[in-house]
A and B are shown apart, each in its own frame.
Chain A
């Protein structure tokens, strides 16, 4: 799963973003993938690396979190979800190829973003990027990122960054999906391929016969 994934926190929550390309070699197995998966109602995970590994790992974490929430009698925290994902990634590091980003909102910490790269480290960050496409946007993100953005500014930042990665990384492309999580709940957006912002030097996408129904 060559990919571009990212998550960024704003004042009051987090925005997760991803491209939608799943490739096996040069063949694009799925051009409309959803790489942003729910772990609980208010915690989501961005998946990069092996699709099989990350899908199954996410299922385990969903299960553990649900059991934990029952014992706790309360919604699990983002920190706990990240810790469980990290535990699975680290203990199985020899067998897995999974680069993960866990982000969400809980009532104790507000919005949080946790990066879990290949080896199984756990790092809490204001924003983070991952997947093969992320290599091309480190500079851009460092330049554009500001703390305490509004929700709309943050979402625009994510969409801009992902679109630039998609322009340069052959393994990333398709459409841009974002998930915004705050105390008010979860909001999903979908940017179809022909509405992805065009980076410098790119040709504009061909005109559609029928407009996209979002």
Chain B
């Protein structure tokens, strides 16, 4: 990496001659090198799935959370620097809570996404700060229906039918595009996400899959997918991939 941004990449407060803020690009790199996180918006809710790479055999299962509730109707999955991710989640919780205490109702998805984007963008402006090394997938289910947002380290926000970030994002996005999301229920969605995560996982190390959703079946509450459903989805995913391998 040395040599590319020499001199112009030392501070967030410096542009390069060709108009880049290198620190923002480097933050994006932190996200690109992390475990894959996939999000899809089905007809009755949103499903988020994270590929948690197992860094040590001594790690207990279900530790190292990657999905977090932000409010009853909203939650996030983060990719990139895990500790940065926790800070962003904490901010989102604060925004949601403050909105409810002032306006008396749940924060709409686009308002939360834009506030989070504004917040993360701050750290791309000043030399004293570095950008958050986090991309956050935000799932909400409010009056506007189910929505999926992506907030990048630069502070840019996007609303997606389906997307992926992290190591396996290219492959994952290709697979997501093949899905007929408007016809899919979240039950089918968790199967699809499980399959995609297993497909794009680089087989060297093991990984643990973490699934979360907010949908009709969960009463429009953001929660971890119940263990039984998650296990079934994982088993089905592995079976489907094994079958495809045999077909080849």
- Residue positions of A touching B, CB distance < 8 A: 68, 71-73, 77, 79-80, 83-84, 87, 108
Contacts and interface: CB of A to CB of B under 8 A. Distances in A.
B105 interface: yes
Contacts of B102: 83-84, 87
A73 B143 CA distance: 14
A80 B110 contact: no
SS class, residues of chain B in contact with chain A: helix
A83 B104 contact: yes
Given A68-B103, A87-B102, 13 more contacts: A71-B114, A72-B108, A73-B110, A79-B104, A79-B105, A80-B103, A80-B104, A80-B105, A83-B102, A83-B103, A83-B104, A84-B102, A84-B103
SS class, residues of chain A in contact with chain B: helix
A72 B111 contact: yes
Contacts of B110: 73
Interface in B96-147: 102-105, 108, 110-111, 114, 143
A71 B111 CA distance: 7
Interface in B72-113: 102-105, 108, 110-111
A72 B115 CA distance: 11
Nearest to B104: A83
A92 to B, nearest CB: 15
Contacts, number: 20
A108 B105 CA distance: 13
Contacts of B105: 77, 79-80, 83
Nearest to B100: A83
A192 to B, nearest CB: 39
A156 B102 CA distance: 36
A73 to B, nearest CB: 7
Contacts of B114: 71
A84 B104 CA distance: 9
Nearest to A71: B111
Nearest to B114: A71
Contacts of A71: 111, 114
Contacts of A79: 104-105
A212 B129 CA distance: 69
Contacts of B143: 108
A77 B110 CA distance: 17
Contacts of A83: 102-105
Interface string B190-222: 000000000000000000000000000000000
Contacts of A84: 102-103
18 contacts: A68-B103, A71-B111, A72-B108, A72-B111, A73-B110, A77-B105, A79-B104, A79-B105, A80-B103, A80-B104, A80-B105, A83-B102, A83-B104, A83-B105, A84-B102, A84-B103, A87-B102, A108-B143
Nearest to B110: A73
A84 to B, nearest CB: 7
Contacts of A72: 108, 111
**3 closest pairs, A vs B, by CB?**
A83-B104, A80-B103, A71-B111
Nearest to B144: A74
Nearest to B143: A108
A79 B100 CA distance: 12
A101 B167 CA distance: 56
A90 B102 CA distance: 12
A72 B112 CA distance: 10
Contacts of B111: 71-72
A110 to B, nearest CB: 14
A75 to B, nearest CB: 13
A77 B143 CA distance: 12
Nearest to A77: B105
Contacts of A77: 105
A80 B107 CA distance: 12
